[in-house]
Every structure is written in structure tokens, then in C-alpha cells.
A = this chain, B = another copy of it.
């Protein structure tokens, strides 16, 4: 299990005191599968780091169709960045897919931490930049690759997820219906 301090240490070096301070501004909680941590229409006041388990963020279109924005497994961050930084109601849900342990940072605490440990500005800058790059790549993939190619990329990027989550979520992530995904999978198995 990768701790949040190890995650931070990938990009910036905190002193033991700073580490202590950081942890004191976080809260670690266990959640059962199917728990909804955030619903569309609410203002996101927290960011989440996954110690163990799996979360996903998604929105719901026309009150029917879900679209998965992001999966977060062990060692990943997740949240509704739009709502979090704007303070406005968002349109994302954040759901626990597997019993999980999650580190929670409130916006208020994060703002304080930025004052007290300026190095964290750098850390979260780097985090945002990396996430931006990942989203840019996914966007371009959606414009230029077939569903099959996107699925292959998904498999190599999230090999551990494939066995663990309902495949309808994977279909949603790569941008096809569950029915088409099923057909495509059958086609791939024949090869």
C-alpha cells in the first residue's frame, strides 16, 4: 500500500515536522462499496486520496446515461476539480466501487497547508499538470482511435481494474454502450 506521504515524496521533500503537520490536516476513513462520497448538485469541499480500494467519478446525462470520468485505485487522487476550485455545485458523482480506505483533505485545510508548507503548491501543481497531460491524451485518443484501440489502451493502463469492476463501467470510460462493449469483447476473443 502506497501512503499519501510516499505519494508526495515523489515530487517534493517534506521534513518530518511537515509530514506530521500534513497528516494532522487529513482524515482517513473506511467506506463500504456503493457509498456515494459526492453527488451531482453538491459543492465539492474535499479531495480524496485512495489508500486502498477503488473509487470512480462520473456524471449522469439526461438523468439516464452515466459517463465515467475517472477511476482511482490505490495511490490515486480523485475529486470534482471543477466544483472544488469554483465553489459551485458540480455535476460529478464520486462512488466507492470496492470497500476502500480514503484520505480526505478539505479545501479549507488544503488552503492552510499551502500557507504553512509552500512546497505543497509545487506538489499540487505537478499533480495537476500530470493529470492535465493524461486528460489531453485521453481526449486525443477519443478523437482518433476506435473503441477497440481505446480498450487496448485501457487494458495496458489499468490492468488491475479489468477483473475488479463491472465491465459496464469500462465501457462507459472508453465511451461505448455496454452492449457494444460486449460484442467487441466477443470479437476480440475470437482472434
Contacts and interface: CB of A to CB of B under 8 A. Distances in A.
Interface of A: 59, 61, 65, 67, 69, 81-82, 85-86, 114, 118, 121-122, 124-126, 128-133, 135-140, 142-144, 175
B136 A136 contact: no
B81 A133 contact: yes
A105 to B, nearest CB: 15
Given A125-B128, A129-B128, A131-B132, A144 B65 contact: yes
A150 to B, nearest CB: 11
How many copies of this kind of chain does the complex include?
A: 2
16 contacts: A67-B140, A69-B140, A81-B129, A82-B133, A85-B126, A85-B133, A86-B133, A118-B121, A121-B122, A122-B125, A124-B125, A125-B128, A135-B136, A139-B142, A142-B143, A143-B175
A7 to B, nearest CB: 17
B128 A139 contact: no
Contacts of A136: 69, 81-82, 135
A138 B135 CA distance: 10
Contacts of A130: 85
Contact of A132 (B126, B128, B137, B142): B128
